[in-house]
Each structure stands twice: as structure tokens, then as C-alpha cells.
Amino acid sequence: MSSALLRVYPSELKIPYEVKKQRSCCMQLTNRTDQFVAFKVKTTNPRKYSVRHSCGILLPRGSCNVTVTMQAPMEMLSDHHCKDKFLVQSVVVQDRATMKDFGPQLFTKTPGRLIEEFKLRVVYIAANPPSPVPEEEEEEDSSPRSEGTSVISGLAGERDFAVDKNQKVQQEMELLGETRSSQQGFSLMFVVFVFMSSMFIGHLMNEIKV
């Protein structure tokens, strides 16, 4: 948010709320003019907050950070609603003005003196917010793709394994067939050899008898 003299950012003070711990936040004040501008920061609850750089003079187009620190709360809140507010006052001062020229009279309303005021409310936020969760659309886009890739890879691996297994089985069957054929051929040759041997021995015995 902006006024004619100052730009105040952010427009509300978000302070983390945590029991027994001090928490701080910052606001930035920027001089939007080519003049020297004095500022003063006030709060509706001065006992609860401390302000660093609660007052000062900004050079033309200059800026500064203001740190607001909340005293450590002693109890939890039933809700995070807060009624505390801050007020930033600003007024044009003479060129080359310094803090020696700063005084309460600067913010006293008199004829011909324009004092601008900007109000900010205090908002309590969780001290330890949960980690961001990916949006549902991103999950829907990413999960099926990864699962599909995994399934395709698994089927391809099973297919290759089955092909290899089938080839091995065929090789084993062919080897077994060759082994059986060789064994059968050997057995047949052995039977023929025995038969021929017996025939030869019988013929030899007949000749001996004669």
C-alpha cells in the first residue's frame, strides 16, 4: 500500500505466534518524493511490542526497514485473531534535516502542515507451518506416468526372461533328443554286434565239429 509520501510494505504485519518465544517481522518504508520525509511508528499496545527504528528521516527516494518484535507470549491462543494495530505517520521536513531537528512537534497538527497516517493490523500466523503439499493436479499428472513406466519396464523384463527361458528349454530338449538318439543308436549297434558275434561263434563251432 502507498500514500502520497511513503510506500508502506506489507500492508499488514504477520507475526509468528509461539509460546515463550519472541518473534519478529519487518515493514519497509520508502520515500516516494524528492523531499525529506520524517516518519514515526506507533502501536496500540506498546507494552507488547518493541520497534526498532520507530522514528527517523528518509532521504528523497530513500527507504529503511522497521523491525517489530512481539514479546514472548505465555499462553496459547484459542484463535489467532488479534486486535493490535500499528500507525505510521509521515510529514515533509526541511531539506538536509537531521535527527537533531526531529521532535514531537513535527507530528502536531497545525494549519498548513499535512501529516499522513497509514494503519496496519497485526496478524498472527503459525510459527511452524506445515510443508507445502503438491497440488492434486501435479500428483495426478506425475503418478500415473511413473507407475505406467514401471509396469511397462516390468512386463518387458518378464517377456525377455520368458524368451530366454524358452530358448534354454528348447536347447535342453534338443540336447536331450540328441543324447537319446545317440544312446538308441549305440544300443542298436550293440545288439547287432552281439547278434553277429553269436552267429560267428555258432558257425565256428559247427566247423570245428565237422
In the chain, what are the domain boundaries?
Answer: 6-126, 153-210
Average pLDDT, the chain: 77
Rounded to two decimals, the pTM is: 0.59
Determine phi and psi for 48, rounding to 5 degrees: -90, -25
Position 129 scores a pLDDT of 56
Give mean pLDDT, residues 85-104.
Answer: 93
N-term to C-term CA, the chain: 141
Return the CATH class of domain 6-126.
mainly beta
Q: What per-residue confidence (pLDDT) applies to 143?
A: 39
Per DSSP (E only), the strands in 71-209 are 85-93, 116-126
Average pLDDT on 142-146 reads: 40
Specify whether the CB–CB gap between 89 and 40 falls below 8 A. yes
Q: In what order do the strands lie in the sheet with 13-17?
A: 13-17, 116-126, 85-93, 36-43, 55-58
Residue 150 predicted with pLDDT over 80: no
Candidates 66, 59, 134; CA nearest to 98 is 59
